[in-house]
A and B are shown apart, each in its own frame.
Chain A
Amino acid sequence: MQRIGVFVCWCGSNIAATVDVEAVSQALKDEPGVVFSTNYQYMCSQAGQDLIKQAVAEHGLTGIVICSCSPRMHETTFRRAAAAAGLNPYMVEIANIREQCSWVHKDIALGTQKAIVLGRAAVAKLHLNAPLTPGETPVTKRALVIGGGIAGIQTALDIADAGFKVDIVEKKPTIGGKMSQLDKTFPTLDCAACILTPKMVEAAQNENITIYSYSEVESVGGFVGNFDVTIRKKARYVNESICTGCGLCTEKCPVKNVPNEFNLGMDSRRAVYIPFAQAVPKVATIDPDYCNMLKNGKCGVCARVCTAGAIDYKQTDELIEQKYGAIVVATGYEPIKLDKFDEFAYNSSPDVITSLEFERLTNAAGPTSGKLLRPSDGKHPHRIVFVQCVGSRCAAAAGKGKEYCSKICCMYTAKQAMLVRDKYPDTEVYVFYIDVRTPGKNFDEFYRRAAEEYGVKYVKGMVGKISPQGEVLKVQASDLIAGRQLHIDADLVVLAAAIEPDRSARPLATMLTASMDTNDFFTEAHPKLRPVESPTAGVFLSGACQGPKDIPETVAQAGAAAAKVIGLLAKDKLTSNPCVASVDELMCNGCSSCERVCPYGAISYVNKEFRMPDRTVALRRVASVNPAVCQGCGACTVACMSGAMDLRGFEAKQIIAEVDAICK
């Protein structure tokens, strides 16, 4: 018989305001096996934990029940306290009387009654608990960073700096991400390339960093400390180690009309291309959708002009298998498609552009060599209208845009408007806004400078309609402060399109079994206290894949993610969760149901010899669980038709005992 102690927490007034904690501890005193029961203001505090230790010693407790918050919150705390008191940490059961009781009920009598029932269930389960011992697994001292934008680069540099090997997987032919496409960066107006490209070069030259460009993650197996990852290195039809990046092929290629994605389709490139001058790695890539040689075997110009002999039309995708201890997701963002916003005439007028396209139009390496010219006729625009919140802050019910604030638009719009006024003072610049949101160091000062010193006309109100008429764009908007409708003949309209997670994020999350929110942003383990960790152990988050972020914030988070990875890789061994599946081999009928449902690949089948009742020996096929890979999800226990599979710490008989106690 267990000797059980019950500890009811008030959680300040979080529990005590809706649950009569004294009544709960009194009622549970009468449960079988309970030899001690008390309540305390904050069970998780040092004093509360001391209370537990003292009771274990005084009453010779063999197990403890804590009636408190969710085990997600403080299970570790109380297991440690139990271990310190000399108990096996798995002889602790938690009855969640906060999230599942006090927070969701208002009636004290009913809340108290429910808390007692939850406590009773925990006591019933604890009677069947057995001490468990966690195993140990080694840690592969290598990290994988998925995404080679500023977030991924910074994380990789920081991890490499601590002496660990890091691989960056980037799906584009070069690292650099969105930041490489920007012109200048707020609030200090450094040129993006000037501060980014040295970091790209640093990443390429760091001996701890390997860059897999033009590559994608194909599959992920394993678990924290021991991930097995397959990387697909897409065929670029150019031998990366021989190509010198001279660019001769990109000048001689006869296919000239390929939309240049780096300039967002505003100019064209060849079928063989280097995205931009400072690309890392600086090697050419052949676009198989446009290359005549690859499409119909007629051409071969690039191979003829290449002095290094780097062109290889026969190249195929390469699969690279690598083990990692930790994985960092840094997949970034992209602007939303504006198809649902017909009122802004984005699809019907080339002079209505997105902010990212505007960046390319003002970038010295862009399609206009940095001269701000209208895409339609190449003329200098004299009146520009910026529209903020295009697709941001839309009600979900409207079905057009995103519910969240995209966070970066207010500042980049202020920057773009300011730079136009600075470079072309003869240009009239309007910014239409719903709110101007500028939290951040020197951010509001920056925005005010745009309005006050540069004379950018900020108008509170939205643009309702844009109609292209001849050479001008008729902008109809509201000025809510003046209380009137404005009609402006603009030459160029710039839309601050909302940003959303990169499309590669969703399938990647499935591979990593990492959770996402309804907007496909990766979810953090705790929104305040664990902001760079995914709830999936060993998976970390860096940059805009977790939510909209500007560059300073991204770099800060990238460093934080790196620190978490370093903390993990610095360990030689990890303790593994002992609450894993185990099979009763005598009951297993070898049906493979469990193997098929296991999302972690932790179950395999073995042929084993068994002594039969008639003293013969039979060879039977039975399930075998790898405890290091099993995450204890319990899917196999549900799938097992013969009842052979059980989850340690959550055995079927324990669950039934809980249900019985609740229904009593």
Chain B
Amino acid sequence: MNRDNVRDEVIRRSGTDPRKCMKCGKCSATCPSYDEMEGHPHEFVYMVENGDIEPLLASESIYRCLTCMACVERCPRGVEPAKIVESVRLEAIRKKGANRLTPEAVAAVADEELPQQAVVTAFRKYAK
């Protein structure tokens, strides 16, 4: 897939419209994982809008998002940044072919190293 297709797919899957963002920074202001992320929520939205998905896929930032949804709750434009982060995360997980996780399998894989939010995300995905 080319750059624009990846972007369109990420945006489609997130169910959001990053163009609604007016760059106020409220998502980053509200994010509890801000210091843990190199691509901060507002930058995340902007990069997806511009199609710069590659660096995000390679970044640890996608696993640092707690999916706490505070940014979704407080965004004045209804952009829902956490959903965009999740969509990119799914892009990364699916690329690795590890896009399936059963509840039974959790115990086997859960250890100190596994990012907790990956588990949370996996569960929410199955709930859809």
Contacts and interface: CB of A to CB of B under 8 A. Distances in A.
Interface of A: 448, 451-452, 455, 460, 481-482
Nearest to A480: B23
B50 A452 contact: no
Most buried by A among B17, B47, B50, B52: B50
Nearest to B17: A452
Contact of A481 (B17, B19, B20, B42): B42
Q: Is the interface of B mostly helix, strand, loop or mixed?
A: helix
Contact of A451 (B19, B43, B52): B19
Contacts, number: 18
B34 interface: no
18 contacts: A448-B20, A448-B22, A451-B19, A451-B22, A452-B17, A452-B19, A452-B20, A455-B19, A460-B23, A481-B23, A481-B42, A481-B43, A481-B46, A482-B43, A482-B46, A482-B47, A482-B50, A482-B52
Interface residues of B, number: 11
Nearest to B20: A452
Interface in B12-62: 17, 19-20, 22-23, 42-43, 46-47, 50, 52
- The 4 A-B residue pairs with the shortest CB-CB distance, nearest first, are A452-B19, A452-B20, A481-B46, A481-B23
Contacts of B47: 482
Contacts of A482: 43, 46-47, 50, 52
Nearest to B18: A452
A456 to B, nearest CB: 9
A465 B43 CA distance: 25
Contacts of A452: 17, 19-20
A426 to B, nearest CB: 14
Given A448-B20, A482-B43, 16 more contacts: A448-B22, A451-B19, A451-B22, A452-B17, A452-B19, A452-B20, A455-B19, A460-B23, A481-B23, A481-B42, A481-B43, A481-B46, A482-B46, A482-B47, A482-B50, A482-B52
A618 B46 CA distance: 93
A33 B43 CA distance: 76
Contacts of B43: 481-482
B72 to A, nearest CB: 18
Nearest to B77: A448
Interface in B58-76: none
Nearest to B25: A481
A281 B120 CA distance: 74
Contacts of B46: 481-482
A448 B46 CA distance: 16
Most buried by B among A451, A455, A460: A451
A448 B22 CA distance: 8
B52 to A, nearest CB: 8
